[in-house]
Structure 1
Amino acid sequence: MAGFELSTPVSGLLCGLLFGFVLENAGFGSPAKLTAQFRFTDWSVLKVMFTAIVVAAGGLVLLQSLGWIDMANVFVPSSLLVAAAVGGVLVGAGFAVGGYCPGTSVVGLCSGRLDALMFLAGIVLGTGVFALSYGPALESLMAAGEVESGDSLSEIWGITPGLAVLAMLAMLVLIFMLARRFEQRAQGPVTAVQAMPGHE
């Protein structure tokens, strides 16, 4: 239909459903598969997520080169190193202990997992506590370590976006090679049967 366009909530919901479907079919609704990443026996999480990042970055560069997208209109949040480090440690610790991240906990819940419900409740509670305790002191801490030279790899490295994507692609290849060695040594990755409830 002429003039038809999806609203932001609707498009976000559709993308979320598709993303959840892919995560579930990749076995990421199971903490057995997710925590195996921290034991270096199953690198599926890192391989899938890093591949998604490289594909998205390459897609943006391609669309920009075709003139279909203006990168000036693409919002890139400021790089806050302290906030990213603190958040990464907290999320990583929760991921390692509980076996879920925010997205995979929703996938696990939709798969009928009670542990995913408890994990998701903890996320909501923790987010609420953070929001209620957020003040000038915490804001200044989170704003520390802001990168002023640029908020993208191409800006920081002083190269074109295309070269930045090629560098990321090279890193992805190295990750796959390293993952293969670790998984073969540990007789991984976690199989679909092992990822089912009751097999963790």
Structure 2
Amino acid sequence: MDVTAPLTETGALGAAGALAAALLVGIAFGWCLERAGLGNARKLVAQFYLTDLAVFKVMFSAIVTAMLGAFWLSRLGVLDLSLVHVPETWLLPQLAGGAQFGVGMATAGLCPGTACVSAATGRGDGLAVVAGFLAGVLLAGAALPRIAGFFTSTARGVDTLPARLGVSQGAVVLLIVALALAGFAVAGRIERARGARRVA
């Protein structure tokens, strides 16, 4: 049996095993979000006011950790990156969706993941946001025939940073790690400056 990851793509887990793994990962992820305080809309909104950048630091840390893990596991032969699904790019629809997501997050103070955590812990705002994005999914599905042309426009296929920049995966990993470290340093300075102003 092939034990090279991703185990779902190689068939090592099977359908039931994949569902069980997804459930366990989802529960663990939700627990981590709640423990980090990210089920609280006030904490998420604080990043827009530059008073608490924990969300930026937690999410960027998760991205960098996953990226480094995938990169080095592939180098060690444990992970076959060619089997990892990379979504295709539709430039304009994804830009429009990203803008809508950003406005929704800034307004609600929660993203889909943190909204689910908030709702699971009984917070009313989390329940309202979950109801809102489920209604949005239903409305978008109903409107799909009318917006199908836009929805499938500006297709770019699988577009990755190494291919776009014409450099190796390792160079992109190094660049993103450097950006993360710089971002953490800037975030720390902003928080310290804001904290000093509140004390004064």
Q: What's the TM-score once normalised by structure 2's chain length? A: 0.85
* Counterpart residue number, 2:152: 143
Cα offset for 1:185? 2.2
Deviation at 1:139, TM superposition (A): 2.4
Separation in 2, partners of 1:134, 1:30: 33
Aligned to 1:158: 166
Instruction: Name the structure where helix makes up a greater proportion of residues.
Output: 2
- Aligned equivalents of 2:154, 2:61: Cα separation in 1: 28
What letter is aligned with 2:137?
T
- Rounded to whole Å, the distance in 2 between the matches of 1:57 and 1:66 is 14
List runs of 5+ in structure 1 lacking aligned partners: 189-200
Where does residue 167 of structure 1 map in the other structure? 175
Give me the identity figure in percent. 35
1:146 to partner: Cα distance: 3.0
Instruction: Please give the residue correspondences for 1:56-135 in structure 2 after superposition, counting only pairs within 5 Å.
Output: 56-135=66-145
Structure 2 gap ranges (5+): 1-11
Deviation at 1:77, TM superposition (A): 0.9
Amino acid at match of 1:48: V
The Cα of 1:72 is off from its aligned counterpart by 1.5
- Equivalents in 1 of 2:86, 2:140: separation in Å? 24
| Comparing 106-115 and 22-31, the one that deviates more | 106-115
Please say if residues 82 and 143 of structure 1, whose CA atoms lie closer than 8 Å, have aligned partners that are also in contact: no
Give every structure 1 segment of 4 or more consecutive aligned residues whose post-TM-superposition deviation is greater than 6 Å.
none
* Partner Cα separation in structure 2 for residue 179 and residue 142 of structure 1: 36
1:21 to 20, 24, 31: 31
Give the structure, 1 or 2, with the largest relative contact order (CA under 8 Å, sep 6 or more): 1
**8 Å Cα contact 1:35/1:96 also seen in 2:** yes
Aligned to 2:17: 7
Which amino acid counterpart does residue 167 of structure 1 have in structure 2?
L
State how many pairs are aligned. 183
TM-score by length of 1: 0.85
Compute the RMSD of aligned alpha carbons: 1.7
Q: Give, in whole Å, the separation in 1 of the partners of 2:174 and 2:71.
A: 11
SS at match of 1:147: strand
State the 1:39 CA deviation: 1.3
Q: Tell me the SS of whatever aligns to 2:48.
A: coil
